């Protein structure tokens, strides 16, 4: 396929954008076709057992899923990565070792003989190898992985960053009582006031103060993790808020907070809705599903938005490798820059939406009806 | 699918770190920050209210001042008017007194003049009388040097008496 004539458009930006989108669409179909080819190749490899072609072929799906997924070591560049602790609860007891043991100098997974078993990192799942060198499915299914993975480490970093930022801000409030905000404080304060006056107060009502710490923490936690995820270098690069486990925890916390604070009107609305009595059993089912579907939507929304952003950025970068030409780089890079700027907005927007909806759900639970 | 299967380890660590974060931030940041913001808002509101009050007070004071000024002006005008009246009166009194005094002096002078005139007239009369008598004596003396004339006169006089 020859796309060079598309690159000759220089006269107007609209034409350029149109050309780029045409390119993108064509690449998409091309990439899909390529994918199928690769899958066929992989299948062939599996059946024939040849590994020669593997290093030559580039599979964007594998690369992208690897990047947005979690991993037991923090990959920096080439064959360099930061080893992270692997913590396993095995049927024979606790096992802690460095993830460096699971990789050889070529960055390939190798088995490691631990205290109790021999472990292997099989696509980021730690499995137990039997004496015959094959995966021991029975023991493997029983081990519980509490490793400090890349996402956990990134999570810790952002927690530390948040604590540092906000203790500094709190200190400047202590040192400058009654004065106008300055520096970092003046950057954070409008956001805090925005959350208080535009999210908490209108959605929760006069009881909003009790929920302010939760809402502020949720907002800044999501936001900082979204932003860190956009940074492709070491302290960033992890897809924390695009991981379903993280969004699950956040929404479960919201679920618990909403239902603990639900007043009699909230529960009354669930168990004694204003419907004919024969509809009650259906309503109970619907309302109970509703209790869980609201935080479930929160979980999926954040996870999907952030993951989608990462996938798009990584796909655009992958184009360079799919076409195996540097001429593709300017196109990819300009799209990636565009997407990154958009993701900056999405990072804030998703943090805002999550906080907003959390406030809304809490507000619905603590609202006092006067029928 | 791996992507949508939450791993227990990450769930555990997220829960732990998020709960620690919420506790830490609540204690270290949100309480002092929200408190400080709230306090500052109160103090700003308070300051605005105070400024309003001060402005009202100023307006009141300036009104009062104006009233005082007006009153003072009125009083000054009154005093000036009174002073003018007093001056006029004094001048008028002085004029009257001077006129009276003058009139009195003129009167006195006239009386004196009259008196002097009367005295002078009296003197003149006396002089005239004595002169006339002297003249009459001398004339009579001359006429009555001869006896005949005396008799004629007496006769005349007696004639008149009879006629009466």
**DSSP string computed for A80-143:** EEEE-EEEEEETTEEEEEEGGGGB-TTS-B--EE-SSSEEEEETTEEEEE-TTSSB-HHHHTT-
Residue A360 has pLDDT above 50, yes or no: yes
Short-list A126, A130, A78, A76, CA closest to A101: A126
- On whether the CB atoms of residues A45 and A54 are closer than 8 A, the answer is yes
Residue A52 has pLDDT above 80, yes or no: no
Residue A29 pLDDT: 42
Q: Which of A94, A127, A148 is the last residue of a domain?
A: A148
Residue B119 has pLDDT above 70, yes or no: yes
Cα(A266)–Cα(A268) distance, integer angstroms: 5
Q: How does residue A350 score in pLDDT terms, banded at 50, 70 and 90?
A: very high
Cα(A274)–Cα(A227) distance, integer angstroms: 45
A163 touching B (Cβ < 8 Å) = yes
> Does residue A258 share a domain with residue A345?
yes
Shortest Cα distance, chain A CAs vs residue B47, angstroms: 11
Q: Which of A148, A174, A199 is the last residue of a domain?
A: A148
**How high is the mean pLDDT of chain A?**
82
A29 domain-assigned: yes
Residue A142 has pLDDT above 60, yes or no: yes
Cα(A363)–Cα(A206) distance, integer angstroms: 10
A110 domain-assigned: yes
Residue B45 has pLDDT above 90, yes or no: yes
For A275-297, letters b (16+ CB in 10 Å) and e give: eeeeeeeebeeeeeeebeebbbe
Q: Which of A367-371, B66-70, B107-111 has the lowest mean pLDDT?
A: A367-371
Q: pLDDT tens, A283-341?
A: 889 999 999 999 999 999 999 999 999 999 999 989 888 888 888 889 899 999 999 99
- Assigned token pair, A48: 């024939």
For A320-335, letters b (16+ CB in 10 Å) and e give: bebbeeeebeebbeeb
A70 touching B (Cβ < 8 Å) = yes
> Does residue A163 share a domain with residue A135?
no
> Does residue A255 share a domain with residue A327?
yes
| Binary contact (A177, B18; C-beta < 8 A) | no
Residue A274 pLDDT: 83
Residue B139 pLDDT: 83
Cα(A200)–Cα(A219) distance, integer angstroms: 12
Radius of gyration of chain B (CA): 65
User: From the candidates A61, A141, A144, A159, which should be mutated to test the interface with B, based on the most B CB atoms within 10 A?
Assistant: A159
A253: DSSP letter:
H
A214 domain-assigned: yes
> Does residue A333 share a domain with residue A201?
yes
A78 domain-assigned: yes
- On whether the CB atoms of residues B28 and A170 are closer than 8 A, the answer is yes
Residue B163 pLDDT: 63
Residue A55 has pLDDT above 70, yes or no: no
- Assigned token pair, A250: 């956040």
Residue B95 pLDDT: 93
- Mean pLDDT is highest, among A76-80, A232-236, A286-290, B76-80, for B76-80
By CB atoms closer than 10 A (0-12, 13-18, 19+), residue A14 is exposed
> Does residue A240 share a domain with residue A128?
no
Radius of gyration of chain A (CA): 25
Residue A46 has pLDDT above 60, yes or no: no
Q: Which is more confidently placed, A184 or A10?
A: A184
A147 touching B (Cβ < 8 Å) = yes
A65 domain-assigned: no
Its domain, for residue A16, covers: 4-48
Of A149, A156, A163, which is closest to B9 when you measure between CB atoms? Answer: A149
- Mean pLDDT is highest, among A27-31, B62-66, B117-121, for B62-66
Residue A114 pLDDT: 82
Percent of chain B with pLDDT over 70: 98
A58 domain-assigned: no
DSSP A266-328: HHHHHHS-SS-GGGHHHHHHHHHHHHHHHHHHHHHHHHHHHHHHHHHHHHHHHHHHHHT-TTH
> Does residue A106 share a domain with residue A144?
yes
Q: How does residue B64 score in pLDDT terms, banded at 50, 70 and 90?
A: very high
A57 domain-assigned: no
Distance of CA A6 to the CA centre of its chain: 35
> Does residue A162 share a domain with residue A260?
yes
| Binary contact (A147, B12; C-beta < 8 A) | no
> Does residue A159 share a domain with residue A200?
yes
| Binary contact (B2, A145; C-beta < 8 A) | no
A164: DSSP letter:
H
Residue A11 pLDDT: 41
> Does residue A319 share a domain with residue A246?
yes
SS3 of A73, please? strand
| Binary contact (B14, A65; C-beta < 8 A) | no
> Does residue A143 share a domain with residue A22?
no
Q: Which of A115, A148, A181 is the last residue of a domain?
A: A148
Q: pLDDT tens, A143-174?
A: 888 889 899 999 999 999 999 999 999 988 88
How far separated are the first and last CA of chain A, in Å rounded? 68
- On whether the CB atoms of residues A332 and A317 are closer than 8 A, the answer is yes
| Binary contact (B34, A192; C-beta < 8 A) | yes
A333 touching B (Cβ < 8 Å) = no
Number of domains in chain A: 3
Q: How does residue A371 score in pLDDT terms, banded at 50, 70 and 90?
A: low
> Does residue A241 share a domain with residue A165?
yes
Residue A48 pLDDT: 44
> Does residue A98 share a domain with residue A211?
no
Cα(A345)–Cα(A355) distance, integer angstroms: 15
Q: pLDDT tens, A225-257?
A: 999 988 888 888 888 999 999 999 999 999 999
Provide residues of B within 8 Å CB-CB of chain A.
2-15, 17-18, 20-22, 24-26, 28-34, 36-37, 39-40, 43
Q: Which of A111-125, B99-113, B149-163 has the lowest mean pLDDT?
A: B149-163
């Amino acid at each position: 396929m020859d796309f060079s004539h598309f690159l000759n458009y220089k006269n107007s930006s609209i034409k350029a954008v149109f050309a780029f989108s045409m390119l993108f669409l064509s690449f998409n179909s091309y990439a899909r076709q390529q994918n199928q080819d690769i899958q066929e190749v992989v299948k062939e490899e599996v059946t024939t057992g040849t590994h020669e072609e593997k290093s030559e072929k580039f599979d964007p799906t594998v690369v992208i899923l690897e990047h947005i997924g979690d991993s037991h070591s923090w990959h920096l560049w080439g064959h360099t990565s930061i080893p992270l602790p692997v913590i396993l609860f095995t049927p024979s007891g606790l096992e802690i070792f460095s993830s460096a043991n699971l990789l050889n100098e070529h960055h390939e997974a190798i088995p490691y003989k631990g205290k109790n078993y021999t472990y292997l990192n099989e696509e980021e799942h730690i499995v137990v190898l039997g004496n015959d060198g094959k995966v021991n499915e029975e023991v493997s299914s029983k081990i519980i992985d509490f490793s400090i993975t890349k996402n956990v480490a990134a999570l810790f970093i952002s927690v530390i960053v948040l604590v540092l930022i906000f203790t500094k801000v709190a200190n400047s409030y202590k040192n400058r009582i009654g004065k106008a905000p300055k520096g970092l404080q003046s950057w954070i304060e409008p956001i805090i006031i925005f959350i208080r006056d535009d999210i908490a107060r209108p959605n929760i009502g006069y009881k909003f103060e009790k929920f302010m710490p939760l809402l502020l923490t949720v907002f800044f936690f999501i936001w900082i993790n979204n932003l860190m995820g956009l940074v492709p270098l070491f302290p960033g690069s992890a897809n924390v808020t695009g991981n379903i486990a993280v969004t699950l925890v956040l929404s479960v916390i919201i679920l618990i907070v909403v239902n603990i604070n639900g007043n009699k009107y909230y529960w009354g609305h669930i168990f004694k809705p204003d419907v004919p009595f024969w509809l009650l059993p259906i309503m109970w089912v619907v309302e109970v599903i509703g209790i869980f579907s609201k935080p479930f939507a929160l979980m999926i929304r954040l996870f999907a938005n952030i993951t989608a952003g990462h996938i798009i950025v990584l796909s655009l970068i992958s184009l360079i490798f799919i076409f195996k030409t540097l001429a593709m780089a300017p196109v990819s890079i300009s799209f990636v820059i565009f997407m990154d700027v958009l993701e900056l907005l999405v990072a804030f927007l998703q943090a805002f939406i999550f906080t907003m909806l959390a406030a809304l759900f809490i507000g619905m639970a603590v609202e006092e009806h006067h029928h | 699918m791996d992507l949508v299967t939450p791993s227990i380890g990450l769930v555990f660590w997220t829960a732990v770190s998020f709960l620690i974060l919420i506790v830490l931030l609540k204690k270290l940041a949100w309480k002092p920050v929200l408190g400080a913001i709230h306090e500052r808002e109160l103090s700003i509101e308070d300051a605005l209210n105070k400024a309003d009050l001060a402005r009202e007070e100023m307006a009141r004071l300036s009104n009062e001042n104006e009233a005082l000024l007006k009153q003072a002006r009125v009083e000054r005008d009154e005093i000036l008017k009174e002073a003018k009246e007093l001056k006029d009166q004094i001048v008028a009194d002085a004029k009257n007194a001077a006129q009276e005094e003058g009139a009195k002096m003129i009167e006195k002078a006239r009386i004196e003049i009259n008196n002097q005139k009367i005295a002078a007239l009296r003197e003149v009369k006396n002089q005239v009388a004595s002169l006339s008598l002297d003249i009459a004596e001398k004339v009579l003396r001359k006429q009555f040097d001869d006896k005949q004339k005396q008799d004629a006169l007496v006769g005349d006089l007696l004639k008149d008496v009879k006629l009466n």
